[in-house]
Structure 1
Amino acid sequence: MEDSGVKRLWAPWRMSYISGIGKSDECVFCHNPAQDPSKDKENLILYRGRHNFIIMNLYPYNNGHLMVVPYKHTGDLCDLNDDEMLELMQLSQLTLRVFKKVFSPEGFNTGFNIGKAAGAGIRQHIHFHVLPRWTGDTNFMPVLGETRVISEHIFDTYDTLKEAFDLEAGK
């Protein structure tokens, strides 16, 4: 068989996402933090606050894509009380500080996707996205190949970020 010169990018781990294997009706943002903290790495939880936690996105847009998530199960930002909102923003600031130290990004994308029309992947539980960005970090792969290239294994990124969060938070 003749090689056509086409390069191949193998990402077999993506098949579980595409086919829905492992997905359940249970809210991941309620299930994961309810587990014993000894399972935080397995559940990608980097930091636990009083009202919110910081978790890595299992299906990231780029390396280091994190989310700050309230423990309260709600799809409406207006359901959060002042203490929950204050901590959500404080943990977002903590995330930015950690990213600046660890990854030296040139910018950030942050925000909520609330509701189906806004592109929320998990509509029933709000979450605040924080993504480090670099000039030129986007390319043709997501557009033409429907593939995102993540440069580091998610658990390697977890280990790096976990250490930085613990140091920054004084743990």
Structure 2
Amino acid sequence: MHEPDNFDRLWTPHRMAYIKGENKPTGSGADDGCPFCEIPKLSDEDGLVVARGSAVFAVLNLYPYNSGHLMVVPYRHVSGYDELDATEVAELGDFTQKALRALREASGAQGFNVGMNLGHVAGAGIAAHLHQHVVPRWGGDTNFMPVVARTKVLPQLLADTRELLARAWVG
């Protein structure tokens, strides 16, 4: 029997898929269930794709740190930044700039965390396929929920965020 403890509960059952590692690649190859290789085959809405280029695409993170957290991903299945060719590097940089502008316009982001985790030991959840994170930040966006309760409150559904950012994307 459950004893009342005067705590409210904020349930986030969608996070269980991430915690359990569901839909994670089974190996390091492109054909081993890599989501970054599968996403471009989907519609923008189903894949949460914000924008597509010739060498890279921008996609919302399915398990975001903040609303609007997206990633810039090369189509080509490579794990290292040093494996990208000049065209991929240039478009990755261009898409990162466009992501910053779109997030500022669509959500009034006041700052950003931008970066890559290269390799599992560096924190990459999917180390076999390079991806650059663009995480919008606002003053006070780290409050008691993530610090004390290890819970992030996201005020917008991913589909709505994708639509908003796709409309704000220029170029």
TM-score, with length taken from structure 1: 0.89
Q: 1:78 aligns with which of 62, 82, 91?
A: 82
Partner Cα separation in structure 2 for residue 105 and residue 159 of structure 1: 17
Q: Which residue of 1 aligns with 2:29?
A: none
- Given residue 144 of structure 1, which amino acid in structure 2 is its aligned partner? V
Q: 2:160 aligns with which of 156, 159, 163?
A: 156
* 1:99 CA displacement: 1.0
Q: Which deviates more, 113-122 or 23-32?
A: 23-32
Q: How many residues align?
A: 164
- Given residue 88 of structure 1, which amino acid in structure 2 is its aligned partner? L
Q: Which residue of 2 aligns with 1:10?
A: 11
TM-score, with length taken from structure 2: 0.89
| Distance change (3 Å), C-alpha of 1:115 and 1:146 | same
Partner Cα separation in structure 1 for residue 131 and residue 23 of structure 2: 21
- Given residue 115 of structure 1, which amino acid in structure 2 is its aligned partner? G
Partner Cα separation in structure 2 for residue 2 and residue 76 of structure 1: 51
* 1:13 CA displacement: 1.7
Q: 2:35 aligns with which of 16, 25, 28?
A: 28
Unpaired stretches in structure 1, ≥5 consecutive residues: none
Residues 73-94 of structure 1 show CA distances to partners (whole Å, capped at 9, x for unaligned) of 1111111111110000000011
Q: 1:58 aligns with which of 62, 75, 78?
A: 62
SS of 1:5's partner is coil
Q: 1:139 aligns with which of 135, 138, 143?
A: 143
Partner Cα separation in structure 2 for residue 23 and residue 117 of structure 1: 17
| Distance change (3 Å), C-alpha of 1:83 and 1:22 | closer
When the two chains are superposed, the root-mean-square deviation of aligned CA atoms in Å is 1.6
SS of 1:130's partner is strand
Identity within the alignment, %: 45
Unpaired stretches in structure 2, ≥5 consecutive residues: 27-32
Partner Cα separation in structure 2 for residue 158 and residue 146 of structure 1: 25
